[in-house]
Structures are given as C-alpha cells and as structure tokens.
Amino acid sequence: MKEAGKAEGKQGPDPVELARRLAALAEQGQGVMSDGIKTAAQDDGFQIPAPEVVGDAFMQIARQWMSDPFRAAEAQVALWRDYVTLWINLGRRMRGDEVIPVVAPARDDKRFADKAWNEEVAYDFVKQAYLIGSQWMVGQVKAMPGLDAETKRKGEFYTRQFVDALAPTNFVALNPQVLRETVETGGENLVRGLENMIADMKRGRGRLDISMTDFAQFELGKNIATSPGKVVFQNDLMQLIQYAPSTPQVYRRPLLIVPPWINKFYILDLQPRNSFIKWAVDQGLTVFVVSWVNPDKRLAAKTFDDYMTEGPLAALDAIEKATGEKSVNIIGYCIGGTLTAATLAYTAAKGDDRINAATFFTALTDFEDSGELRVFIDEVQLEKLETHVREKGYLESRHMSNVFNMMRDNDLIWSFVVNNYLRGRKPMAFDLLYWNADATRMPAAMHSFYLRKMYLENKLIEPGGIEMKGVPIDLRKIEIPVYQLSTETDHIAPWRATYSPSQIYSGSYKFVLSGSGHIAGVVNPPSARKYCYWTNPNNPPKPDDWLRDATRHEGSWWPDWFSWIEPLSGDKVKARVPGSGKLKPIEEAPGSYVKLRASD
C-alpha cells in the first residue's frame, strides 16, 4: 500500500483540480489584460529605453558592419571555427573522451550552476553553443572600429540585454533544473509560475512587476528600519530623524547623513546586524538622517536648489536647535553625495563653515565616465523625458527601477523569471531586495536639471559651471577634510570616475576603495567578515596608479572610517535624547515619509 501510495504520488497534480486552477487563471488573466489596456490608455507611450534610440544604435552598428566586408567575413570565419571545434568535441565526448571546453562561463555567472551543464553532454553542448554566440556578438560590437563612443556604449549594452534574454536557462525545455522539476511535478511548477506571473501583473496594474522578495515578511519600523529615534523636523521634501543614543556619552559634533532620493534612506538601516546607522550610534555618534519624501505632482517644480535648501541646509539649522551645536560632520551617499558636494561648494562661497568634515559614499561629481547610466542619457532621450515629466509632474518610479534592473539583468530580472515563473517558487524574504523594490519618483524640475547639467553636460566639475541659489560654485573651494568611499565593481558610480575629486578638493583627502558593488560594498558590517578594502596615503593623478600602490585590508572599511572621523568629532558630552533640545518629536522613526510607496 505504501509503495502504491508512492507511485500514486508521482502521478502529479489532480487533473480536475489543475483544470479548475487553469480556468481561474484564465479568468484572472482577462482582468489583468483589461487593467493593462486601461493603464496603457492613460500613458503617453514614454519608455526607457526609447525603442527608436535602441533601433538607431543597431542601425549604425549594422551600417558599420557592412562597410567592411572583409572584416565581417573574417569574424564569421572565426565564429564558425569555434562552432566546428564544438561539434568535434561533442563527438569526442560521446565516445567518452576528455576534452577541453571551447568556452566556459565567467566565474560569477550563476546561470549555469546546475551540475548537468557540465556533466551531461547535451546540456554542455547547448551551454557552450550559447556562450560562443553570445560572446561573439558582444565582442564584435565592442571591437568594431568607426563607432563613436556613445553608439558603441549603447550597442554593447543592448546587445548584452539581447543575448542575456536568449540564454538557454530562460527556457523550460533547455534548463535542466526546470525540466526535472516539470517532470517530477507533472507541470505543477509551471502552473504555480503562471499564478505568480498573474499576481505580479495585478500588482503592476497590467504591467509585469516581477517580485524579488516576499513583501509580506517586512514592515518598516517593525523588522526593517528599526533603529530607535524620532522625527524632529520636517518640510515638503524631507523629514529629519534623530537617533536615540546607545552610549552614556557621545561625541560633541553630530553626524548628518544625506542619502540618495532615488532610493530610500533605510538602505543604511536594514536590520540591526547590517545597519550602518546603528553601528555609528553604537560608536558614540549623534546621528541625524534625512528621509526624503516620495514626491508627487505637487512637488513637480522642486529644483536641485530646493533639495539643497530644504535638505542639508535645513537640516543644519534643525540640528543646531536640537543639539545646540552649529558644526556637524556630513555623509553624502550616491546622488546625496553629489548634492553634498554642491552644498559644500555653495557654503564655501557663502563663507558658511558649519560643515566640519565630509564623507562620500559612491558619489559622482565628475560625470565624464559615469558608466552604463550614460546609455540612457543623450539629447534625444532627455527631450523625450522632459516632455513626459512636464505633463506628469514626476518621473514614475518604475522607469528608474527598470534602468537599474537592466544594468544587472541576469541578477535582477532573469534569475527571478526562472525562479518565479519557470520553477513556480516564491522569492525569499530578503531585506536588501525589499528596499530595492521600494522605489521612488523624481520631481520633474530637479530630475531634468540633474540629468542635463550633471550627466549630459558635466557642469558640476567645471568652476562656475552651475549655480546654486544664484551663486556660481567651484568644487576647488572645498577645503574641509574629505573621506571618499568607492566600491570596486560599482556599476552606477564607477570607482575610477569617483576618484577625480582627489585632484580638485583643496583640503585633506582620503580615498578608500571597498570590495564589491554600489550597495554591498557600503553595507558591509565588520561582523560579516566579508570583502576587503584598499587604502593609500597618497593621491596620484591617475586612479590606477593609486590602486597599484594601495594596501589591501580584509573585512569592512567601517572601522577605518571611524578612526578617521573620531578625531574630527570633538570631545565627549552627555548623550542627547531626541526631543531634549528645542525641537520636539513629531513621530517615531523611521517616520511617515519613508512609508509612502510609489503607485505608478
């Protein structure tokens, strides 16, 4: 009986129940399609990337390819040579011979982790055939002469998107893990996958909004962003949070953190174990954090100037009222760092010395080599964006999410397509991906200025290139101590591009390079014992010269930063309780602004 039961268990799902579920899904699908039609009707057709921009890039590549028939023929011969070698190796492997692969995936390519891709001849053949073709396509664009840098950058990026979408791992019949589970469950995984897809489309109101984590497992203030504190000040653009001390004494000089407003501040306060904010408080620092609002159409006219005035400058005034201290140290993260640099140049021009020392996390001030984000920024695309946001009042959060996800498409798109829709699994509860999905909008005026003046025209690095509140600013006037933290594999703020302030700022300057990327390289607590960082007491003109002579240290850079900031933080005073100064608490941290989710 037990054996019969086991055999019966292998027969898969009940066909009647399966038919009922499929019928229910079909009905739900009709509703989703209806929602999609309504959503599309309310839209103006704006997309990032713009299809015509992608098409134009490929047209230029095609013309360049055809302009040199000899080179094209030579490239095709090289491609076919690799495929012939693969076919020969296939025959040898089928005879049981050991052969050297024609090509192998990169060490960090997780798509081919299943052992079948190496052990089973057919799957190994499919894998290598794909890698030969995909690497050849990307390589041809990368090496193609006669293309301007912008077209080549776009060509490489969109070719990569194309070949990543065609990976055999993304198809049921070609993915050994998915195929095994399909056979074992009688297709139950695919039905669950369809249920997951329809649920994601419902959440996206007809657009596919891929779930990256189990959203139900997190609640702000409950098990994420939990460091105790109070909102002590707010205006249209931000709430200012003062965190409760965890030591009987604190350093006199407060610390102000200016996070990016492209995402939310709690990347620095995910869980107690990896919270930079909690760690800084535990070191005896009085920490204030700007929590930016998630803007809507009412804030469409807010400018980059407004973000400075109602952000760090307003925070300086509030901190003085809360603590009695005029002088603060400041941290600027990503675009928050770009704003911080502009603010420092502005305060220098105005003779305002309230900021004593500055730290920058993965922040660009020189946008000449600003990485893959440049793919989305040119005159044509900016004009389309400006036309779109002029009517809307803001750039929808989904557009920014799509851009950042495309930059890491295998990790942030295709891995979830396979997990959620082909394997029919729910994504795991992961604090970082919960934060990643908690996207924000961009006010029209601010975003247009930022993209045009920074990315397109690179005016911030130019003395007097931009004005803040009518004052021409010059980064060379920044004379305070600076600690610049960049990350080795940053795809948003490439570390070599972030190094240029070493030759611009006039005060003491320490550049530190952390292992990993834009987020993991920053959110790397000492207890994790992960990654590494490099330091160099000298600042040669070229970043590669800096790295060549740098010293590698294992683990987190956080203690190194504290050893730098501690002597700049003043003497010890009695710990300050939020609300004990002239500013009374408005509400508990993390506040209400951070809880406003975008619903585009």
| Interstrand relation of 467-468 and 255-258 (parallel, antiparallel or unpaired) | unpaired
Do 376 and 403 meet the contact criterion of CB atoms below 8 Å apart?
A: yes
Cβ atoms 241, 316 nearer than 8 A: no
The residue among 221, 279, 274 whose CA lies nearest residue 255 is 279
CA-wise closest residue to 101 among 78, 82, 116, 79: 82
Contacts of 592 (CB under 8 A, 6+ apart): 231, 239
Whether 334 is catalytic: yes
Q: Rounded to 5 degrees, what are φ and ψ at 477?
A: -85, -5
CB 264 within 8 A of CB 408: no
**C-alpha to C-alpha distance for 19 and 302, rounded to whole angstroms:** 53
Enumerate residues 6+ apart whose C-beta is below 8 A from 404.
412, 436, 492
How far apart are alpha carbons 394 and 409 in whole angstroms? 25
Is the distance from CB of 256 to CB of 312 less than 8 angstroms? yes
Q: Looking at 241, 250, 334, 364, which residue is catalytic?
A: 334
Dihedral of CA 547/550/555/558: which sign? Answer: negative
DSSP string, 254-295: -EEEE--SSS-GGGGSSSGGG-HHHHHHHTT--EEEEEE---
Do 538 and 549 contact (CB within 8 A), yes or no? yes
CA 48 from centre of chain: 16
Distance CA 346, CA 469 (A): 9
| Residues found in the chain | 600
**CA 290 to each of CA 83, 222, 241, 293: distance values in angstroms, whole numbers, following the listed order:** 56, 20, 6, 9
User: How does 334-371 read in b/e, with b if 16+ C-beta sit within 10 Å?
Assistant: bbbbbbbbbbbbbbbbeeeebbbbbbbbbbbbbbeebb
Both tokens assigned to 147: 């293309």
φ and ψ of 232, to 5 deg: -110, -5
Residues forming the active site: 334
